[in-house]
Amino acid sequence: MTDFLLELRSEEIPARMQAGARTDLERLFREQMKAAGVEHGDVSVWSTPRRLALIAKAMPERTEAVSEEAKGPPEGAPDQAVDGFCNKNGVTRDQLEVRDVKGRPTYFAVKNIPGRDVKDVLAEAIPAIIRAFPWPKSMRWGDASISTESLRWVRPLSGIVAILGEDLVECEVHGVASGFATLGHRFHHPGEITIGGSDDYIEKLRACHVIVDHEERQGMVRQQAETAASAAGLNLVADEGLVIENAGLTEWPVPLLGRFDESYLDVPPEVIQLTARTNQKYFVCNDAAGKLANAFICTANITADDPAVIVDGNRKVLAARLSDARFFWEVDQKTKLAEHAKKLERITFHEKLGTVADKVQRIAKLARWLAEEGVVPGADPDMTEMAALLCKADLVTEMVGEFPELQGLMGGYYARAEGLPDAVADAIRDHYKPVGQGDDVPTAPVTVAVSLADKLDTLVGFFLIGEFPTGSKDPFALRRATLAIIALSASCHNLRLQKAISISVGTHLGEEIVADEFRQHFIIYACDFEWTEKLIAEARNIAENLSGQLAATRANWFYGLAKIPEFFADRLKVQQKEAGVRHDLIDAVFALGGEDDLVRLLARVKALQSFMETGDGTNLLAGYKRAANILKKEGFEGTDRIARTGEEDPLSLVDDPDVGSIVAERGKGGDYEREPAEQALVDALDKAEPAANAAIEDENFGSAMAALASLRVPIDTFFDDVTVNDENRMKRTARLALLARFVAAVHKVADFSRIEG
Amino acid sequence: MSSPNSSVVRDPAKSFQDMILCLHDFWSAKGCLVLQPYDMRMGAGTFHPATTLRALGPEPWNAAFVQPCRRPTDGRYGENPNRLQHYYQYQVILKPSPPQIQEWYLDSLKVIGIDPLKHDIRFVEDDWESPTLGAWGLGWEVWCDGMEVTQFTYFQQMGGFDCKPVAGELTYGLERLAMYIQGVDNVYDLAFNTQGVSYGDVFLENERQMSTWNFEVADTDALFDLFRKASAECRLCLEKGLPIPAYEQAIEASHVFNLLQARGVISVQERASYMAQVRDLARGSCEAYMAKYSVQWAAAYPEWVA
């Protein structure tokens, strides 16, 4: 048993690719060893900008000899069959063995694969690993690149160290031969170093100013940056992405703190941080009060005699960048946001959905509607509309042109600077939120209205033009937009999707076809939430009865729109599952149908979740299931049977409020003496039904559940004391009807048949 | 490396021109032809035919030259200490890319006075792409104490053709390097020579007037006309099997397009279309260049396939 060291040296490997390269190196190595039957111990991989390294522990010196045997035709089979078997297994006829298989002499081919020196296996594996390496971007170089078949690597491959134990594994790829020699730090130790093996590799390189272990370098960057900050009485603004990047750019990281001119602090701190981070990969620091300080931390790759020289160079570069940023900051403010917004006409949002200016107009209408209708309580309609009209204006500012990630944020700063109300400035700043899971969800009413309108507009627009997400492809981030809508609905009084979407559809179809009868027709459909089926039927109708481009476009609108409810429901389930809600509870509420108010839907799921965590919930469920089973067994479940017997179905109109009392009357049964438990259940239902209905009406789903909970004891007692299947047909029917009434009552709150347990 | 002209006392830290001469000496000693700037207006040294056209084909090609670059939109009327509409690039093109190209480059920095044990030199990923030239390559921007001083690229494609073999291209930003080496914060304060002439003495008035012309004066009708004429001339040359003059017209069209941009008369929508036109001219020229020499190259380099 011995250890194996592999080092692949390269001209500077991009920092962002190093983590992937480590994973790939280990995977390819393991695959090669597995294929060759080499068992080995732990594998470690490291990277620096100039090398990938791997150490595999406990490698054998030889692979085990393996014997493989294959069963062939029986003795006496036609020559053709026997020869074919021999060819297939690479043996000659006289090498075949004959063995008895269930009384028949049968040919066997036995192949003895001898063990191999692992050194030879590695000599083949290394070139194979290098050739198969999946770099995100690779290139050719040097003399060999006269052919496009030449090796491709992330940057020129410059050296290979491959040592098994103390022996060189000899191999060559693209003119690079393996050896014992590697290079130390580019500047601190320009000469060659001879490596003995895996034991001295790390330490020899360390002596030559190379820290091979990327995690160790990350630790150095993190810790020394913190130390430098605290030595200056500041706090480092932690940034793990920068830690990893700087560790990927250096073999000998030396964080250094510098200061920039205090006057730049007039520029918003986010801008300074982003400038420092994106362009220069510098950390920034906060002062004791938590405000951004005029300090930066760069990470050098050398220990210089006079680090001040390096710091000063970096300071100048940052100053030039900050001076640009300040220029943008000042220039942008010379123009009001409303003026900037006019330039949005020049930016295409999507070729079929118009310019960003068009989108802004749509958002403004929809946002205003959300405010006026009280969908978002507390949102002042005028402020909401103003915020919506300005929310994208910063896209044409110099600052956002330079730093697109500052969209929204800059708009917020500029809005405040020109004296717009805070609610408007906040809405402009935060209307992109929530951007993903874990992002803050706005709760300020104006912000919620603008954000909702923006996302609804995007969702409806792309569905109208048939740009649906498929599989892993969601180029317009419609899933994210939908999840954001769901999250934002927490701040809504109600959010009737069909209504909101139909308003959005109206804004999309534009003023120019306002007089078009078709548009009216379409919007009526959009408002009628029998959605899916009707819309698809209408699409077919149009496609069949109209011809030409217009018909196709219109048919597609319907198809597109018809897909929204299902897409929404799917997102809702995903979101609820991720929020820890049981999927069967979601189904139980969704299965009721007819509810398009997102707020009510979610409230009901939430109430059901709490209820099912109580003993009342689980017992009621057991009672429900038992009742439903009996009804099913007795066939007391639909109109069919009753219709067949010619009797009126007492439950067919159970959901109709006008006949509810009649049904209840029926449920009380005929003129026989009810047993006490039976009567108790009737009494309980008489109380619970109106209570639950009233609670649902009030959107108080917790109370609705509590009303149901009152049925738990009566139903349990009923099952204990009363025989449903009484000989007396009248009693039996009455009791089945009572159970059906119970089931229907429960069903009004949620479809309990979907709940597991 | 010892200077081949050690009898000449040259201190790159003292003047802009001495720095250029040091680079000339250095790359000349490495076997590069020291060429002169191309006598046309262009946005980057990469447009020089010694780079673009010579990057095609199998023949070895090593050259170094200074190329004045014009970027009309970068003009600041001489008021910005870092931005110019006219500046110099130092270009080195080495084909095929030699194995020690990075070491040579670092040596060249030492020659102009940058000690990598005093200054933090870094190779930071920066892939290069020129849609106008149908070209791309992988490489780095080289940082010196956080400042980008050189673009270092291994050309993979030029004019839409695979580079066979690959050329290494180094583009030094001369003013930036000089500012760094001379410790000057304003480009116009650079010592151009050692006799007291500054960069500003040579170019400040030029920047003011050219900025005014680029942004405010240039006759846009005449420029649109120039663009059309250059395109037509390029196509004519291509018909006649003359890739080099055709390529010159592509350079011309590209610069005229940049001027039109500076005048703000090209809308966002039109921009893409103009860029596509320039790309077609440049690609067409490269294609014609390849077509003209392919047979001859294939004969001389059997391992080379067009």
User: 10 Å Cβ neighbour count for B187?
Assistant: 24
Rounded CA-CA distance B211/A298 in Å is 35
Structure tokens at B274: 């103009």
Lowest mean pLDDT among A382-396, A638-652, B277-291: A638-652
CA atoms within 13 Å, Cβ hemisphere of B219: 4
In this structure, how many other beta carbons lie within 10 angstroms of the beta carbon of residue A305? 9
Q: Which residues of A668-684 are buried (b: 16+ CB within 10 A; e: fewer)?
A: bbeeeebbebbebbbeb
The neighbour count for residue A340, using CB atoms within 10 Å, is: 20
Cis ω for the linkage preceding A434 (within 30 of 0) = yes
Give the chain A residue nearest B169 (alpha carbons): A141
Cβ atoms of B111 and B18 within 8 Å: the answer is: no
**Maximum separation of any 2 CA atoms in chain A, in Å:** 108
**Confidence check: pLDDT of A103 > 90:** no
B155 interaction partners in chain A (CB closer than 8 Å): none
Do the chains contact at A143 and B82, CB–CB below 8 Å? no
Tokens of A504: 């959005």
pLDDT at site B26: 97
Average pLDDT on A470-488 reads 89
Strand ranges in A348-490 using DSSP code E only, listed in sequence order: 348-350, 354-355
Backbone angles phi, psi at A159, to 5 degrees: -170, 155
**What is the pTM assigned to this prediction?**
0.76
Phi-psi region of A496 (alpha: psi -120 to 50; beta: other; left: phi over 0): beta
- Residue B221: its pLDDT value, please? 94
Q: Do the chains contact at B125 and A310, CB–CB below 8 Å?
A: no
Identify the pLDDT of residue A353. Answer: 85
In this structure, of A12-26, A403-417, A512-526, B290-304, the range with the lowest mean pLDDT score is A512-526
| pLDDT for res A511 | 45
B166:A304 CB<8 A: no
How far apart (Å, rounded) are the C-alpha atoms in residues A304 and A146? 41
Candidate from B116, B138, B163 with C-beta closest to A155? B138
pLDDT digits (tens, 9 = 90+) for B35-88: 999 999 999 999 999 999 999 999 999 999 999 999 998 898 998 888 899 999
Among the residue ranges A285-299, A501-515, A688-702, B98-112, the one predicted with the least confidence is: A501-515
Whether residue B214 contacts residue B263, with contact meaning beta carbons closer than 8 Å, is answered with yes
CB A681 within 8 A of CB A714: yes
More confident residue, A568 or A434: A434
The neighbour count for residue A498, using CB atoms within 10 Å, is: 17
Residue of A nearest to B127 (CA): A137
**Helix, strand, or coil (residue B31):** coil
Cβ <8 Å between B96 and A148: no
Say what the ipTM of the complex is: 0.94
Kindly list the distances between the CA atom of residue A608 and the CA atoms of A111, A457, A574, A581, A684, in Å, as whole numbers in the listed order: 66, 32, 17, 10, 20
Chain B interface residues facing chain A, Cβ-Cβ under 8 Å? 58, 82, 96-99, 102, 106, 116-125, 127, 137-140, 144-147, 154, 156, 162-166, 168, 180, 185, 267-268, 301, 303-305
Neighbour-count burial of A284, counting CB atoms closer than 10 A to its CB (0-12 exposed, 13-18 middle, 19+ buried): buried
Listed residue (A188, A205, A245, A189) closest to A221, CA to CA: A245
The answer to whether the Cβ–Cβ distance between A300 and B120 falls below 8 Å is: yes
Residue A211's alpha-carbon distances to A44, A254, A307, A420, B102, in angstroms, are 15, 12, 20, 53, 21
The mean pLDDT of chain A is 86
**Residue A594 corresponds to which tokens in the numbers above?**
């007819």
- What pLDDT shows up at residue A544? 61
What tokens appear for A296 in the block? Answer: 């930066």
Whole-angstrom Cα distance, residue A637 to residue A629?
A: 10
Whether B145 and A186 lie within 8 Å, measured CB to CB: no
Provide the pLDDT for residue A647.
38
Tell which residue, B48, B35, B37, B36, has the closest CA to residue B255: B48
pLDDT value at A59 more than 80 = yes
- Mark out the alpha helices in A290-397 (DSSP H runs): 307-333, 337-342, 356-372, 381-390
- pLDDT at res. A643: 32
Residues of A in contact with B185 (CB under 8 A): 316
Query: Is-contact A336 A390, C-beta < 8 A?
Result: no
| Per-residue confidence band for A639, with pLDDT thresholds at 50, 70 and 90 | very low
pLDDT band at A451 (very low <50, low <70, confident <90, very high): very high
Encode pLDDT of A412-449 as tens digits: 999 999 999 999 999 999 999 998 878 899 999 999 99
Put simply, the answer to whether B120 touches A305 (Cβ < 8 Å) is no
